[in-house]
Amino acid sequence: MGVDERLIQAAIKSDVEAVTERVFQNTLDPAETILEDDLERQADLLDHAIQLPAKAKVALIRRLISQLEADNIQTIVEFGLREIGDRHRHGVAASAPVEHNTRLLLKKDYSYQARGLTEPTQYFVYLRRRKPKLDRYIGTLFHLPQGCALSYFLDAEERLIFNPPHNVFQLRDSKNPDIIQVVRLLCLEPPPPDYTFAKQQNDLPEIQLHLEYLDLQTHQPIAKLTYPFPMCMHEGGKLDRYRWEVTTVTQAPELLIARQHFPQTSVVEPLPSTNSVSSPQLDLNSPLDRAEQVAQPLRRVLELQPKLLTFYLSDRGDADAILKRMRLWVAWSEKAMPQSKWEIIQDAGDYTLMNARFKRRILRFSPNLSAVVLEHSLPVLMKWFHDLSLAVSQAQSQRQYSAVQLKLAHTLFIEMSLPQTDPLIALKKLFGLEFSKPAPTKG
């Protein structure tokens, strides 16, 4: 038991026990007093509680809060956060509160409904200009395939505060599943009060994401850091949406550490080719690197070669459209995700779309046969195009894409997020063309 806990226990045994006994006695026998006497007695109890020392007040609250429903506790938490914000504001500036020209706003990605989920898989961050009213898209928070219900509110300083317990997440490295971090989202800090924007404005407002890194086992804070948003979520950022596979933390810490996941095959970068995953070189003096250090079990990685699926253009005259769309994707990748850009390799009349850095084949087109060959399973293929279209949709500079391209990227992002089992439909969404299955061979 720590020093603070012992002090609280000592306080409970003195002043707090006297007050709580009177509170509980008063609530147990309400029928024995008339309303006026009851109100007078409650006021007397509150006056007594107000006069308690600070630590005794904390002890009293901790004891009484165990009697409340979850909704009541949540109300107290939100009130406490607002009180902290108000005190900070009055302590920093005694003058009248500054009115911001903009405020932060979260919008749900409603595509989760079409997937049969009960909660959004991600939240879009917007800035809302007050006068005249205008919304501007800024970026996207974590992507959680299973869905997540964020709880949040704006405090007195226009910060968007994330409420516990729905703000703790586990981040698992998609390239090395043994690297895990646990983070708690604290708040999004808006740009300065005088910041405003006009239609088609393309600057980078100063929005900061505050979070804590937590110990994997105890979930105690390790470090509190601030990152510029949305750049921290972009490829190469500290919270890279393409690197980390994110899940909500709802289990006990010991269960989270004990639970092991098999490596995912639907990641942007290839799985290790060796049978064991070696521990990366980490700086032991860095709290963030300590958060990444977990047991490194021997893990067999089975590389299963998927069965190649071939589909044919319904109209052989659409071959040029296939190549045009493939070149467009290469151009997108060079701008939106240069660290993982794509390329087209021509060999014996075939055109193979592949990742230039990791040399992973995506799909192959044979003009002579008017055939498209999928080099991976359908979920992996859709993951590739989901990431590409998402990178284009949330690129820092939207002017490098035409309006038609941005609309196409947004459409592909939505379509590649939806569950799909029919490759013909997926190819139609990707290319905007009709395909057919190969005719069955006669035995």
Read off the pLDDT of residues 307-358 as tens digits, 9 standing for 90 and up: 678 999 999 889 999 999 999 999 999 988 887 889 999 988 899 999 887 7
Short-list 332, 350, 352, CA closest to 341: 332
Residue 122 has pLDDT above 50, yes or no: yes
Burial 15-38 (b: 16+ CB within 10 A, else e): bbeebbebbeebeeeeeeeeeeee
Residue 156 confidence (pLDDT):
78
The 3-state DSSP class for residue 134 equals strand
Residue 253 has pLDDT above 80, yes or no: no
Mean pLDDT of 222-250: 89
Residue 234 confidence (pLDDT):
87
Preceding omega of 132 cis (within 30 degrees of 0): yes
pTM (whole model) above 0.75: no
Question: What are the start-end ranges of the H helices in 287-402?
Answer: 287-292, 319-336, 378-393
Residue 190 confidence (pLDDT):
95
Higher pLDDT, 309 or 196: 196
Mean pLDDT of 417-423: 81
Short-list 177, 283, 152, CA closest to 223: 283
Mean pLDDT of 250-271: 33
Higher pLDDT, 341 or 302: 341
Strands (E), 123-191: 123-129, 134-140, 152-154, 160-162, 168-173, 180-189
Question: Do residues 234 and 240 touch, judged by C-beta distance below 8 A?
Answer: yes
Q: What is the DSSP string of 233-283?
A: GSTTSTT-TTTEEEEE--S-HHHHHH---PPPSSSSSPPPSSSSPPPPP--
**How do the domains of the chain map onto residue ranges?**
3-67, 102-275+284-292, 309-436
Distance, CA of 226 to CA of 232 (rounded, Å): 10
Read off the pLDDT of residues 48-102 as tens digits, 9 standing for 90 and up: 777 788 878 888 888 888 888 877 887 788 788 777 766 665 554 444 567 899 9
CA terminus-to-terminus distance, the chain: 77
Give percent of the chain above pLDDT 90. 31
Residue 294 confidence (pLDDT):
33
Question: Do residues 186 and 160 touch, judged by C-beta distance below 8 A?
Answer: no
